[in-house]
Amino acid sequence: MSGFLPEDYVRNEKADEPWKRSDTDKMLDEFFAGASPSRLAAVLRRNPKAIKRQLEQFFYNEDKRCDRYEPKLRISRKGKRWTPNEVLFRKQAAKRGVSAENTAKVLARAINECGGLLFELEGQEKQAPKAVAPTMDLIWAYHYLFHRCSKKVVTDQAYDDLVKEEIEYGGGTNLFKQIKEQDDYPGRIRCLAHYLLLTSLEKQRDDARRL
């Protein structure tokens, strides 16, 4: 099976060892906080190939892994800023039919954070508040704000990281080329862009009040 992670992460001569539930919890905490598989291998002192296989069980929901997972000692991510790793997992979980409840359990988030905002499932748009859009939609919305509205709500580095993540893991190379050449933007992208802009302005206002 062709995995979603680069094969460079699987080249390691260390033998795999049996996994404990605490190991899985630690792996998920670190990964969803933003750690790369190579970093996880160093932190957990594991074979990178074993890390890759453990993560793919969740990403592909192999043998209902997400449904069967029962957290023991997890660090809550409720209300925290979404990392690219979380966005990637949320998108894959939706494709695999994982329920919002089980998605939230794996992510250590609240259920209402995992219902999906503008996630496209089987060609239909699903909308729900307080969630996250697919990475490519975020990229598209940021592109719209900058090039059509002269507004920047994320740093250049954050934008570049999103693009790199989507091209490397999400297979978005061709779509990203289309975005750069796009003269028109779908309604969902404009709505998402306005939401992101308003959220950014509200945060700036709240930060200013604290000074």
| Of 85, 88, 9, the residue nearest 46 (C-alpha) | 9
Write the pLDDT tens digit of every residue in 181-207: 667 788 878 888 888 888 888 877 777
Judge whether residue 123 has pLDDT over 50.
no
The answer, yes or no, to whether residue 116 has pLDDT greater than 70, is no
Of 111-115, 139-143, 195-199, least confident by mean pLDDT is 111-115
Give the C-alpha separation, 195 to 57, whole Å. Answer: 34
pLDDT in tens, 66-104: 999 999 889 999 888 888 889 889 888 888 889 888 999
Q: In the prediction, which pLDDT does 176 show? A: 67
In 3D space, the residue among 90, 95, 196 whose CA is nearest the CA of residue 143 turns out to be 196
- Return left, alpha or beta for 105; rule: phi > 0 is left, psi -120 to 50 is alpha, else beta: alpha
Q: Are 40 and 27 in contact (CB under 8 A)?
A: yes
- Contacts of residue 46, defined as CB under 8 A and 6 or more positions apart, other chains included, come to 14, 16, 17, 23, 40
Each domain of the chain, given as residue ranges in start order, spans 1-113, 135-210
Does 11 score more than 80 pLDDT? no
- Residue 54 corresponds to which amino acid? Q
CA distances, 50 to each of 78, 120, 164 (Å)? 28, 31, 24
4 pLDDT higher than 60: no
Q: Is the pLDDT of residue 124 over 60?
A: no
Identify the CA nearest to 51 among candidates 88, 84, 7.
7
CB 83 within 8 A of CB 100: no
Give the Å distances, CA to CA, from 165 to 31, 132, 176, 206: 14, 16, 12, 30
C-alpha distances in angstroms, 190 versus 6, 48, 208? 33, 40, 27
- Name which residue leads in pLDDT, 50 or 4: 50
- The least confident of 25-34, 136-145, 159-168 is 159-168
What confidence category does residue 5 fall into, taking pLDDT thresholds of 50, 70 and 90?
A: low
List pLDDT tens digits, range 12-66.
444 456 788 899 999 999 999 988 888 888 888 888 888 888 999 999 999 999 9
Torsion of CA 130, 159, 105, 188, to 10 degrees: 40
Q: How confident is the model at residue 129 (pLDDT cuts 50, 70, 90)?
A: very low
pTM to 2 decimals? 0.51
